[in-house]
Every structure is written in C-alpha cells, then in structure tokens.
Amino acid sequence: MSYDTSSRSYLTRAKLNFDSGNNESLFYAALELRCGVEARLKEYVVKASDVSLCKIPWKIKNLEKILAKSSNIHDKRFVFFFIHPTTRERHDVIYNPVSSKLRKIAKTLGDYLHCVDQNRVLKPLFFSEFRELDKQGIEELTLATSGTLIAPPITNSGEMKFKFEKDRIPSLFRDPEIKNYTFQYQVTKTPKPGDQFIICKPI
C-alpha cells in the first residue's frame, strides 16, 4: 500500500487521527498536520520558483523565505469570480496561501513531537489545549488546500497569470474559445492590516 505525501493526503490522515477522539492520536494528528503544512509550502515553492525539488529545504521558515523571494503577495488570498459570457455560469478561481496563522500552528506543533515531560502531560489543560491546536491546524490546512491555483495570480511585474492545480482547472479555462473572451475586473475587497483577502469581481 502506497503512502501519499501530498498535502491533501497528510490532511486526510490528520483528520482521521483527530476524529478518533483518543488523546494519544492527537500526537499522530500533529505529525500529519505539520508534514501537511510543509508539503503545501513545497507544492507552492515548486511552482513559484526555479528551485529543483531535490534542493527544496524542509524547514518551514526556509520555505517561507523562498516563497517571499519569488512573490511579494504569496501570503495573500485571491478570489476571482469569472462569469461565462455565453452561459453566465460562474467559475471561481482561488489562491489560498499557507497563512501566517497556519505556519505558526505548525511550528508550535513541533513542540509536541518530541519526548514530552510527564509533569507537562499531567497538567489539566494539556490535552484540551493540544486538541484545540490540532483543530485549528486542520481548519487552516483545509483552507490552504481548497483553492484552484498553485501559485499567486499576479507576478511581481504586475502580470496576471493563472497556474492551476492538476485536476482543478475550471471548465471555463478548458473552453477552446476562452482566448476570444475579454474579462475586466475591479477589486471589491482589499487587504487591511492582518487581512489576507483580495476579492475581484467582473465588470
């Protein structure tokens, strides 16, 4: 039986361990979650930079640095609403980053993946806090893996360019007639401090 190392497979296994309800399973969920975050960052790095797969580092902070060099908006969430000019069907194009919150959670989970002192485990809030951390991590990684784009939609030079994930290309972009369509957009929601969302709608 093969072991899938994609970010979504790590997420699936993290959910299974978390849903078991056992305290000991929280450690296994934490391991899958942390690996899932690293895997998602690597998936973005592969598409956003010229670093070869064999040279991609595993540390989250190093992956962050590579993404920051390749794009100054890698940590922003983009949502585009495309309306097919003929059918009027709506197609969403979404880029979901690995949020700063998720990166912080992944780093904190690392503290649980070593031998834990017995006195720490005996503290009344240890497992409830651990469970909440796993829960938030699962929610954030679910969001980070739910988009359709594998790279930010705007390059550092200002060019709009969509790189879709495999098997997540909206049908509109598989339409051979798309090259004949013109789309114009206005930004309807721009980021404020601490806000990652940029939403664009057709005009």
113-158 confidence digits (pLDDT tens): 988 889 988 898 999 999 999 999 999 999 999 999 998 887 666 6
More confident residue, 84 or 203: 84
pLDDT score recorded for residue 54: 55
The pLDDT tens digits for 75-121 are: 888 888 887 878 888 888 899 999 999 999 999 998 899 888 899 88
pLDDT score recorded for residue 57: 67
Kindly indicate the confidence band of residue 53, based on its pLDDT and cuts at 50, 70 and 90: low
pLDDT score recorded for residue 52: 59
pLDDT score recorded for residue 191: 57
Residue by residue, what is the 3-state secondary structure of the chain?
CCCCCCHHHHHHHHHHHHHCCCCCHHHHHHHHHHHHHHHHHHHHHHHHCCCCHHHCCCCHHHHHHHHHHHCCCCCCEEEEEEECCCCCCEEEEEECCCCHHHHHHHHHHHHHCCCCCHHHHCCCCHHHHHHHHHHHHHHHHHHHCCCCECCCCECCCCCECCCECCCCCCHHHHCHHHHHCCCCEEEEECCCCCCCEEEEEEC
Q: What percent of the chain has pLDDT over 70?
A: 83
pLDDT score recorded for residue 103: 93
pLDDT score recorded for residue 69: 78
pLDDT score recorded for residue 77: 86
Please state the pTM of the whole predicted model: 0.83
pLDDT score recorded for residue 156: 65
